[in-house]
Every structure is written in structure tokens, then in C-alpha cells.
Homo-oligomer: A and B are copies of this chain.
Amino acid sequence: MGNDSDDITKHWDGTLIPGRDGLMMEFSPMTKLIVDGFKASAVSADIRGKGDGRLDMGLIVAKRGADAAGVFTTNTMAAAPVRICRDRIGDEKVAAILVNSGNANSMTGQAGEQDALHLCSALADRLMAQETAVLPCSTGVIGERLPVERMEEALDSLIAGLSEGGLENFTRSIMTTDTVPKTSKSEAKLELGTATVVGIAKGSGMIAPNMATMLAFILTDAVVDVEWLRNILNDCVKDTFNTISVDGDMSTNDTVLLLASGSGPPVRTWQDNGAISEAIHQVCRELAAMIIGDGEGARKVVNVKVSGAWEVEDARKIARTVADSLLVKTAMAGEDPNWGRIAAAIGRSGVEINPEDISLQIGEVKILEKGEIVEGYDEKRATDVMKRQQYDIRITMGDDDCEATVTTCDLTEEYVRINAGYRS
């Protein structure tokens, strides 16, 4: 797919990464990953028992407690840590997030829940915090018990290692099949000062060969009403993480947490709320784009944009059906403007449509106009668009106002290789 000039940049120091609207966005270098009111650290607890020294446990502590909001997988097989987080996220302040990679603590029944509760309690003791103020997150192999003893032993060095700059190591400790750490930073100008928003995420396949999950942690120093936090996060996730699709699978562990330490300026007005909300959106958008760009085996990022729908839900359904179609995704990999596959996916989306209302374009090349092939349509030009690392597929359903975008990646032989590989 060699096109070096606009290769998806996978470095993480002050480089450019592709944004959702085809723009390149500046990517915050790790050195700036500091948010007032939070410390973090990471250690190797040898969770896979391989003795390879890999960072696999991470800790974020809100020194004076943080207001928190969370969004979790809707998978009914939700893992133990997700069930615990869901219960705990409420009106109480959060003292810490304890994360591990290498083991998802999923499908481990009551015993797995006890394991997570035990670790949270052991950490809370050491931090002199409320037991219920610790949120656990896990990502990794499904169906195995956590090595609780080794993990408990690691708690002291995790706490000893806490520092304001510790988020960098934390970020590395949650990586599984990710090829790059994913972080983003933004600022919000509030009436009484500037608030910082930092985001950290992991995820490439929804469930990678050994591992599971998308995890994202958004931290801000702003003082925000907890009800506002919840609304901002819900909107944000709907517009960002929920609009990406690597393989249509949804893990048992997906978790997005938003914490506000309250060490910075307050969000007091609607303008302030708008500013902090926009900053959080931007961070989530950037993280979502990074997850797609790092999709297992992916070489291209494609925005499927559907407009002209009667209801947003219709637009979303069509965008998702096209974005998840194996045949569309393999055509992307083959740089083949086989638009019949797109039309077929639209047709089976379950949305009532009139084929004669459908317009379709790939990049700037119009293919269908109101159900008819555009005169002079030149397949060669569509192929040229598909050779790019990033482009849009635009589908217009009619003259109505609703629209939706789902961002996806191509399906390559590499994806199959990664996911068909034996767990080792």
C-alpha cells in the first residue's frame, strides 16, 4: 500500500495523526501528560507468568478524590471489573483506578469478582481510602483467574512509584496488541482559568487474540458538577468511540472513565461547560481516531458518512452496516471501487429506503446520483481515491436532515493472521 507521504503516523511524540475529518491533528507529546490532582505509576506484576518484565499493572490516584462518570460495554457477559465499576460509579468521589493488562478477569464468575474486590480493598487500605472509591479495570485473556497474590505484592511498588509524570508509564502498562500508546491532550479556556484534559486509551481489535477490550481514561483538573460530567461523557462516547468499528465485535470489558480532580478552575457557566465539553470531545475524537488507525492489520482509515436520513438512527444503521461489511472492508484493502458491495450493504441494513433516492461517492468521485450511475463515472478515479490512506465514503439517502458517520478500517490478510494466530 506504499504511499509514504501520508502514511498513518504511528509515532507518539509530537507527530501528526489522522483526524476524523481528514485533517491531520497535532498529537501531544507524552511529556505534557500531566493533570493537576492526579498521580500515576506502572509496574510489571508478571501477570502472564512469562517473567518478561512487561509493564502490566497501572495505577491512577486522585490525591483529593475525583468526581467520576463512566460508560461501559453493553455486552451482557460484562467482566467482573466492569460490574464492580458500574456499581461504584455514582455520587461518591473516586480515589483510584487500578488497571491490569494480560488478563481480562472475564467469564470468571463469582470468584473473579472476589479477586477484583480483594485487590481494590488491599489498595484502598494502603491509600487509606474508602474501599468503594477504587475502580478496577482489566484487559487480556478471557476465562482465567487473576494471579491475585503477585498483583497484591505489586501494590506497594505501584504506590511508591506514583508521580505526576507517571501517566506515560501507565499508558504503556495497559497496551495489549496496540502497536502505539494512545494519548491525547487538550485545554479548555474557562472564565476563571485554563483547564487541562488528558486522555489515555488502549484498543485495536475489539478483542485481540489474547486480549480484550477498549479502555479509555479521560482526566481533567476542572471542577465540574458530576451530573454535567455524566452528560458530557455520554454525548462524547456516542459521537466518538461508538462511531468506530474495527471488526464489529464488542468486548466484555470496554470501559470509558472520566475523572475530574477539581484541582483546577471551576466550570461555572454554560460557556465554561461548552468549552470543557469541546475539549473532552476533542480528546475522545483523537483517541478514537488513533484506535482505528492502529486497528489490527489496518492500513486505511475510512469515514462512512450517511446523510439525508429521516432519523439519525437510520443514518447510523446504514453507516454501521457498510462499515462492518466484510466485503466492503476487503474491497478497501484491495483498493477496489466495487461499489455494488456498498449498495448491497445499504440494502440489507434494515432501513426502509428507496433505491432511487440513493447517491454515493467515494472521496470526491460521484458514482450514483439518485439511484443512477453518474454519466462519465470513471472507475480509475475512484481507484485513485481508494489508494489513499484515508478517505470518505458518502451516502445520501434522500433530502432529510439527519446524518451519521462511522469510521472504519480495511480488512487485510494481516488481520486474519493476527487473529488466527495461536495464543502463546
**Residues in B neighbouring A364, C-beta threshold 8 A:** none
**Residues in B neighbouring A372, C-beta threshold 8 A:** 109
The 5 closest A-B pairs by CB, nearest first: A142-B340, A77-B347, A334-B420, A330-B419, A75-B347
In this complex, how many residues of chain A approach chain B with their Cβ under 8 Å: the count is 63
Q: Would you call B75 and A420 a contact (CB within 8 A)?
A: no
Contact of A249 among B106, B247, B344, B353 (CB under 8 A): B344
A247 CB, min distance to chain B CBs, angstroms: 4
A77 to B344, CA, bound (A): 6
A98 CB, min distance to chain B CBs, angstroms: 22
Main secondary structure on A side of the interface with B: loop
**Residues in B neighbouring A421, C-beta threshold 8 A:** 334, 336
State how many copies of this chain the complex holds. 2
A323 contacts the other chain (CB 8 A): no
A325 contacts the other chain (CB 8 A): yes
| Residues 73-91 of A contacting B (Cβ, < 8 Å) | 74-78
A416 to B76, CA, bound (A): 31
A346 to B171, CA, bound (A): 30
Q: Would you call A419 and B344 a contact (CB within 8 A)?
A: no
A205 contacts the other chain (CB 8 A): yes
Q: Would you call B416 and A340 a contact (CB within 8 A)?
A: no
Give A residues with C-beta under 8 Å from B. Answer: 74-78, 104, 106-107, 109, 141-143, 205-207, 209, 212, 247-252, 325-327, 330-331, 333-336, 338-341, 343-348, 351-353, 355-356, 358, 368, 371-373, 411-413, 415-417, 419-423
Q: Would you call B340 and A207 a contact (CB within 8 A)?
A: yes
A418 CB, min distance to chain B CBs, angstroms: 8
A80 CB, min distance to chain B CBs, angstroms: 11
A310 to B77, CA, bound (A): 18
5 extra interface residue pairs, beta carbon distance < 8 Å, beyond A205-B327, A251-B344, A333-B416: A104-B340, A109-B356, A109-B371, A141-B340, A331-B420
Take A109-B371, A142-B343 as given contacts and tell me if A411 and B416 are in contact as well, using a CB distance cutoff of 8 Å.
yes
Take A340-B142, A371-B109 as given contacts and tell me if A419 and B347 are in contact as well, using a CB distance cutoff of 8 Å.
no
**Residues in B neighbouring A141, C-beta threshold 8 A:** 340
